[in-house]
Structure 1
Amino acid sequence: MYVVFFILSSTTLLYNCSFGVLASQDQQCVTFLYDSSSPGSRYYLGNSWYRATETGFPWFEARDECRKLGGVLAAPSSAQENEFIAHQMPPEGILWIDCNDLDVEGRWKCREGNVEVAYRNWDDGEPSNEGDEDCAVLTKRWENQQCSTFMRDDSSCPESWHSWGISCYRVTETRFTWSDAKDECRNLGGVLGAPSSDQENEFIAQLFPLDDAVWIDCNDIEDEGRWKCREGNVEVAYRNWYPGEPNNYQGDEDCAVLASWRNERQWHDGKCSRLEKALCKMAGRPVLHV
Structure 2
Amino acid sequence: MIKSKKVGMTWLGLRDLNSGKKFYWLDETKEITYSNWATGYPQTVDKNGKDCVIMGGQGDGKWTIVSCISPISFFCERKPTCDAVGVDTLALFHALFSADGTCPVGWVKSPTSCIKLYDDKRRWQDARTTCQQDGGDLVRVHDDCMSKLIEEKIKSRPTDDIFWIGLNDQNEEGKWKWLDDDEPVIYKNWAPGQPSNHQVSGHKKGQDCAEIGSHKKTQWNDQDCTKAHKFICEKPAGSPPKAGVGIIIGIIVAVLALCGAILAAIFFGPRLYHYLNDKIGGKVSGPLSFNNPVADSIQNA
- Shorter-chain TM-score range: 0.3 to 0.5
Structure in which a larger fraction of residues adopt strand: 1
How does the TM-score come out when normalised to structure 2? 0.44
User: If you compute each CA radius of gyration, which structure gives the higher value, 1 or 2?
Assistant: 2
